[in-house]
Amino acid sequence: MTPLLRVTDVQVSFDIKKDGAWFWQKPASLKAVGGVSFTLNAGETLGVVGESGCGKSTLARVIIGLVAAKSGSILFEGKELIGADKATMRLVRQDIQMIFQDPLASLNPRMTVGEIIAEPLRTHHPKLSNQEIEMRVKEMMVKVGLLANQINRYPHEFSGGQCQRIGIARALILRPKLIICDEPVSALDVSIQAQVINLLKEVQKEMGLALIFIAHDLSVVKHISDRVMVMYLGNAVEIGTDKALYGKPAHPYTRALMSAIPIPDPNLERNKKIELLAGDLPSPINPPSGCVFRTRCPQAQSDCAQTKPTLQGDDTHSVACLHSQV
């Protein structure tokens, strides 16, 4: 089966001008994404996890075209997105939409809910009549759990969970094939998080959507994902099905993340072993040589400083580590 999305060795870096530097001095290079590769099939959900600063959101913005990649390839339905012209990206954006982290900040406060949800339709389907647009908007509002008679209200009149439903409705109104969810529940209460996750699963099943779900919470990712990719300092260190990765994590960084997941049973939670990581996250401006995780890895050896590991394994489970196997 041909993947809906194929990302191959995508690298992203930003030029950073140091404070007090002279104008002739070269800026430092911040390596945000250091060569990430994965595939995504139609109707599949890929969870992306990792601590802050690991490049999750940057990778999402590269896929949708908000950030330019330095090198690599992104194929969506066989179309190359890196270096694509504006006309091609305009067509592709009908099929790739994004849900952002802060539900209220991502909505224009001067526009009504109806105008916010209808904006993609007016942009990509200008020949639709006002009556047809209003009908589609109301149908989508009901689908995501809002009331159709709220169409003329403004974002500040809604709760955080309702604002995220508005963002979901806006992303769904064009009936895309892929939605990138950039930490869509991190700003919400736990009970509201569950409602939004269940809503995403329902519309995914109904519309056959593929999802890239970015989050810090591994328990949330497990609930919604078919496969999970773990990132560290701009690199994918492990990727696999939810059963394979949660059942037998291979990379020491993944094991440390898994050990931090709370267990509902207080006795088990009290007695579980937490794998703490030494040191702090290195600077992406000056990352470690070889394996980027070696400065915090409990099983690092001398060869880890010389060789950068690549993902080894199969489609079910693969890991980027010189001293761990799946």
**Whole-number pLDDT of residue 273:** 78
Give the count of domains, the chain: 1
pLDDT tens digit sequence for 278-296: 878 888 888 899 999 999 9
The most confident of the ranges 8-22, 97-111, 123-137, 247-261 is: 123-137
**Whole-number pLDDT of residue 76:** 95
| Contact yes or no for 155/104 (Cβ under 8 A) | yes
Between CA 242 and CA 229 the distance in angstroms is 10
Structure tokens at 92: 């592709």
Residue 138 falls within a domain, yes or no? no
Residue 315 falls within a domain, yes or no? yes
Mean pLDDT to the nearest integer, 55-82: 93
| Contact yes or no for 55/49 (Cβ under 8 A) | no
pLDDT tens digit sequence for 9-46: 999 999 887 776 677 778 888 899 999 999 999 999 99
| Contact yes or no for 10/36 (Cβ under 8 A) | yes
Residue 123 falls within a domain, yes or no? no
Residue 264 falls within a domain, yes or no? yes
**Whole-number pLDDT of residue 261:** 78
Residue 14 falls within a domain, yes or no? no
Mean pLDDT to the nearest integer, 209-227: 90
pLDDT of residue 249 exceeding 80: yes
Nearest to 250 by CA among 301, 197, 312: 312
Confidence of residue 157 (pLDDT cuts 50, 70, 90): very high
Q: Which domain holds residue 310?
A: 252-325
